[in-house]
Amino acid sequence: MQNKKYLLLIFLSSCVFAQQGESQSVPVEKSNVDLKEQVKSRSGYEVDNIGYGGSTSVGKQLYLDNLYIPDALRFPEFDKSIQPYYEWKRKIREQHNFQFGQDYTSLYQRASDSLTDTDSASAGVYRFYGRWLAVGKEGKNDGALVFKIEHSHKYGAVSPDDLNNYLGYLGSTGYLYSDLDWVLNDFNWQQKFDDDRGGFVIGRADPNDYMDVVDYANPFTTFQNQNILENRSIAIPDTGFTAGIGYAIDDQWYLKLATHDANGSLDDPGFFDQGAEFFSFVEFGWTPAIDDRDLKDVHITLWHVDQRVNENIPEGDGVAFGGSWSFDKEWIIFGRTGQSRGKASIMKRSTTVGVSHIWKAYLDVFGLAVNYSEPVNEKLREQTTVETFLKVKLAQNIAITPSFQWLINPALNPQQDHIQIYGLRIRINL
């Protein structure tokens, strides 16, 4: 309980302090003007494509959370009232080349059936993340130190990340909503080169942020089910040491390759504690224009993982395909599929297809996705997952997301063929 109170104080105090500090230097009318013509981003943050990261990467999350669109406000006076906080963040960026963001997200889930008496779960995640632009401040080929610190905690007996254990489902129904306490998710150096055509990342990072990126996948803003958020036919390691490069071959084709600690662990910041066992991948992608890669993209990923001796997991490899296509920036269709060889991954085959829609009026988002998976363990059932959600933006900083999951033939549960999960997620970002 003390940890949760402490997190709340951290989350709110910076906003309060900023508004008090700005009240003497920012005229009242400045925060009440139409910001549409004056601010592209509430704090002036620009999009960062180092390493060609997706929406879960720190640089992209900072940019998306700072977008301010006055035409899409339900409560404009509320949103304008906290603009001094963002002006304070703008000053920090201009004076110290430091960008930061924070959010708090709560998730509650309830299942229709269970193997035990446990059929519900809830948890919260606080995140503080940022980047310090230390090199190339005045032009191209800039370099930045990137970090992300998280605190996850369950409210009751079970967290959503562990609810699957009580349902007999192979995969998390509330991915990353756990009770790991404080963890260091990112701490890496990111550097652009060749007039920003390429970039590399080295240090502690989550490989999901840069490999097989399809921008529909963000457990804090879109879907919640791990089998939909990830391609589980890939033996994706957890957060750990990584070294990777992304490069635009021309205006349409790009290449990414990286190697990662195969034994990475989100709750253990160790450095190759179990020896030199690597997960590596190479990815080729095509887009109509590199700047539109988030909206229109197709790619192929080849991966390999070494044998993990202490974990008694053999080596493996596989191939995966992914892509998405946007229509008028409102409708997006997306898909992923892959097949693995060996016993290193959870799934032998996995395929996800879906669609999302953004209403420009308030930037509300609807999503629907279906995943079909064949476990590597042939004794387990092939399972299908359906998830849909509706994210409603109450304000620029507040979103509420009711969701529904339909688990068909859960692989570890021969007693039920269908389980429904009803969820509610609330996210506040500053």
Q: Which whole number is the average pLDDT over 240-252? A: 94
Region 400-420 average pLDDT: 96
Mean pLDDT (the chain) is 87
Does residue 15 register a pLDDT over 60? no
SS (H, E, C) 352-390: EEEEEEEECCCCEEEEEEEEEEEECCCCCCCEEEEEEEE
Please report the pLDDT score of residue 315 as a whole number: 96
Q: Is residue 174 part of a domain?
A: yes
Q: Is the pLDDT of residue 7 over 70?
A: no
HSE-CB for 19 with a 13 A CA cutoff: 11
Q: How far apart are CA 69 and CA 60, in angstroms?
A: 17
Does residue 411 lie within any of the structural domains?
yes
Q: Assess if residue 307 is contained within a domain.
A: yes
The pLDDT score that the predictor gives to residue 366 is 97
Q: Is the pLDDT of residue 275 over 60?
A: yes
pLDDT of residue 59: 87
What's the token pair of residue 17? 């302090």
CA 376-243-189 angle, 5° bins: 135
CATH classification at residue 313: 2.40.160.10
Q: Can you tell me the distance from the alpha carbon of 192 to that of 140, in angstroms, rounded to the nearest whole number?
A: 8
Whether the pLDDT of residue 4 is over 60: the answer is no
Give the span between the Cα atoms of 304 and 300, in whole angstroms. Answer: 14
What is the chain's percent helix, strand, coil content, to nearest 5? 20, 45, 35
Top pLDDT among 372 and 294 is at: 372
**Residues pairing with 325 in the sheet:** 296, 333
Q: Is residue 21 part of a domain?
A: no
- 157 in a domain, yes or no? yes
- pLDDT given for residue 72 in this prediction: 62
Q: Is 206 domain-assigned?
A: yes
pLDDT of residue 195: 87
pLDDT the model gives residue 157: 93
When pLDDT is averaged across residues 75-95 and rounded to a whole number, the result is 87
- Tens-place pLDDT, residues 301-355: 999 999 999 999 999 999 999 999 999 888 999 999 999 999 999 999 999 999 9
Closest CA to 269 of 151, 188, 183: 183
**What is residue 164's three-state secondary structure?**
helix
CA-CA distance, 131 to 147, in Å (whole number)? Answer: 6
Whether pLDDT at 10 is above 60: no
Instruction: Give the residue-averaged pLDDT of 385-399.
Output: 93
Helix (H, G, I), strand (E, B) or coil at 105: strand
* Cα 84 from Cα 339, distance rounded (Å): 50
Q: How confident is the model at residue 70 (pLDDT cuts 50, 70, 90)?
A: low
Look at residue 280 and tell me whether its pLDDT is greater than 90. yes
Q: Which of 58-72, 116-130, 146-160, 225-239 has the lowest mean pLDDT?
A: 58-72
How far, in Å, CA of 134 to CA of 16, rounded?
Answer: 28
In angstroms, the CA 84 to CA 18 distance is 7
pLDDT score of 22: 43
Q: Which domain holds residue 320?
A: 103-429
Residue 25 inside a domain? The answer is: no
Q: List, for residues 135-176, the tens digit of each pLDDT value.
A: 876 667 888 999 999 999 999 999 999 999 999 999 999 999
Note the pLDDT of residue 9: 41
- pLDDT (average), residues 187-211: 92
Report pLDDT for 25: 37
Q: Between vectors from CA 281 to CA 376 and to CA 293, what angle results, nearest 5°?
A: 110
- For residue 259, pLDDT over 50 is answered with yes
User: How large is the average pLDDT for residues 234-251?
Assistant: 94
How many domains does the chain fold into? 1
Comparing C-alpha atoms, which of 337, 268, 279 is closest to residue 307?
Answer: 279
Is residue 35 over pLDDT 90? no
Over 50: is that where the pLDDT of 38 sits? no
The two three-digit tokens of residue 294, written as one number: 């988030």
Asked if residue 134 belongs to a domain, the reply is yes
Residue 387 Cα distances to 174, 361, 372, angstroms = 12, 24, 12
Range with lowest mean pLDDT among 65-74, 269-278, 312-321, 379-388: 65-74
